[in-house]
Amino acid sequence: MEGMTSIERACVERAMAAQDEMRGQVEAWAAVNSGSRNLDGLARVAGLLGDAFAALPGAVRLVDPAPVEAVDASGKRFELPHGKHLRVTVRPEAATQLLFTGHMDTVFGVDHPFQTLTMLGDGTINGPGVADMKSGIAVMLAALKAVEDSPVAPEIGYEVVINSDEEVGSLASAALLAEAARGKRAALTYEPSALPDGTLAGARPGSGNFSFTIRGRSAHAGRNPEDGRNALVAAADLALRLKAMVGQRLSVNPARIDGGSPNNVVPDLAILRVNLRPATPEDQARAQALIEGAVAMVAAEHEVGIDSHGHFARPPKPMTAAAEALFGLVKRAGADLGQPIRWQPSGGVCDGNNIAACGVPVVDTMGARGGKIHSGEEFLIIESLGERAALSALTILRLAQGGAA
């Protein structure tokens, strides 16, 4: 721990000493299914998290989700329910204001077979959400509690947002994240490390999910097919045109087509679902124009109506100078702790995208080390709980004391 002040050293030691407590929290929180669409499970976990974060000297409250519209398999728009989000506000009057974010939802639904924890013999835990990201929430809380016991604490104000819908795009929490980011000097988000060795995610692409409802005209497939307008063929054509947009700075994934008809009927309805990931804001603008052009061409050539739904909910997250400065601060903190820190671009997206779009520098993989997330082999490296809590605590102290960000 060379290079640290006595205050920093004491704070780091408190964070590392909380490892057993963090492990217990992870086991308790991961034992409750909180898939993004499991509203009952999300409510239970939100209650557990609210009790845990009440240890901080701030206002803890649950925030209602913003309304979210989706398109069903019949092409009808409907309101999609979401769980409540946790928001904690501490010392909003302090000179240094920071943001800490995480998510309580997992990708494992209430009926998913992956529901239990297994203690493995190699210092890891296998279980749903243990890495992504219930351990990250525990790391965040341990770091903040350690900082609160420091004489530097009165100089730091912060907000914590733990949303219920990160795994499905944060549509019900995007406005909350933007509001919480306002006026913040820097942000830390507690996704698991990009690699099990602790590597952080740097630049990220943006992401947009779109549903295109194509309405054609039914006709008998044998007697008068020429009178029909085949919505399924138009959807396939649109999928191919969009896929042809793929380039070095834009990925396109046509993922699903709903609709169709019996074999003897020209189908008059199809819904195409597509995900697009642009590398930069300029690529996003280009992708939006290409989408609009492809939709117009398919509608005209197939004589069908097309209703477009969706947007780029995750803006691209490039490595700006401010972001590099924050990464540098984290790297120096890691060096003083004996933790080599590096970062690399990631193809994934998260709430760090939304925060960066607000002009706030963010490191969004401050959570624990683990791997194989979003699968039944997901695991957490137990010893990383103390490591990463110490890294966060030291980073927070140095931000409060004028470190670069």
227: CATH: 3.30.70.360
pLDDT at 1 over 80: no
Domain assignment present for residue 76? The answer is yes
Closest CA to 249 of 283, 203, 226: 283
Q: Are residues 310 and 344 in the same domain?
A: no
Domain assignment present for residue 105? The answer is yes
Q: Are residues 172 and 235 in the same domain?
A: no
Q: What is the pLDDT of residue 199?
A: 97
Q: Are residues 358 and 374 in the same domain?
A: yes
H/E element, 46: helix 39-53
Q: What is the pLDDT of residues 381-393, one digit of tens each?
A: 999 999 999 999 9
3-state secondary structure of 290: helix
Domain assignment present for residue 365? The answer is yes
Alpha-carbon distance values, 329 to 16, 106, 126, 322 (Å): 20, 30, 32, 11
Contacts of 337 (CB under 8 A, 6+ apart): 1, 12, 387, 390, 391, 394
Q: Are residues 265 and 336 in the same domain?
A: no
Contacts of 300 (CB under 8 A, 6+ apart): none
What is the CATH classification number for the domain harbouring 172?
A: 3.40.630.10
In contact, 389 and 137? CB cutoff 8 Å: no
Q: What is the pLDDT of residues 121-165, one digit of tens each?
A: 899 999 999 999 999 999 999 999 999 999 999 999 999 999 999
Cα distance between residue 243 and residue 73, in whole Å: 22
Beta strands, E only, 315-366: 343-344, 362-363
Q: Are residues 34 and 152 in the same domain?
A: yes
Which residues make beta-bridge pairs with 278? 250
Listed residues 296, 314, 332: the one ending a domain: 314
Domain assignment present for residue 1? The answer is no
Listed residues 266, 298, 314: the one ending a domain: 314
Least confident of 245-249, 303-307, 315-319: 245-249
Q: Are residues 297 and 321 in the same domain?
A: no
pLDDT at 3 over 90: no
User: What is the domain extent for residue 219?
Assistant: 207-314
Q: Are residues 321 and 391 in the same domain?
A: yes
Q: Are residues 217 and 307 in the same domain?
A: yes
Domain assignment present for residue 405? The answer is no
Q: Are residues 144 and 243 in the same domain?
A: no
Which residues make beta-bridge pairs with 209? 275, 311
Q: Are residues 123 and 19 in the same domain?
A: yes
Residue 48, token pair as written in the block: 């557990």
Closest CA to 389 of 136, 101, 163, 124: 136
Q: What is the pLDDT of residues 42-67, one digit of tens each?
A: 999 999 999 999 999 999 999 999 99
Q: Are residues 159 and 218 in the same domain?
A: no
In contact, 11 and 400? CB cutoff 8 Å: no
Residue 324, token pair as written in the block: 């590099």
Q: What are all long-range contacts of 24-29, with beta carbons under 8 Å and residues at least 24 apart?
A: 25/52, 25/134, 25/137, 25/138, 25/141, 26/125, 26/130, 26/134, 26/135, 26/138, 26/380, 26/385, 27/117, 27/125, 27/127, 29/104, 29/129, 29/134, 29/137, 29/138
Q: pTM for the complete prediction? A: 0.96
Mean pLDDT of 85-102: 97
Query: What proportion of the chain, given as a percentage, has pLDDT over 90?
Result: 97
DSSP states along 142-161: HHHHHHHTSTTGGGEEEEEE
In contact, 228 and 219? CB cutoff 8 Å: yes
H/E element, 24: helix 19-30
Residue 364, token pair as written in the block: 């969004």
Report the mean per-residue pLDDT for the chain. 97
Contacts of 72 (CB under 8 A, 6+ apart): 78
**Which stretches of 248-280 are DSSP H helices?**
none
pLDDT at 4 over 60: yes
Per the document, the length of the chain is 405
Number of domains comprising the chain: 2
pLDDT at 404 over 60: no
Q: What is the pLDDT of residues 224-268, one digit of tens each?
A: 999 999 999 999 999 999 999 998 899 999 999 999 999 999 999
Q: Are residues 198 and 261 in the same domain?
A: no
Domain assignment present for residue 26? The answer is yes
Mean pLDDT of 103-129: 97
Domain assignment present for residue 151? The answer is yes
Domain assignment present for residue 357? The answer is yes
Listed residues 289, 314, 339: the one ending a domain: 314
Residue 89, token pair as written in the block: 């506000």
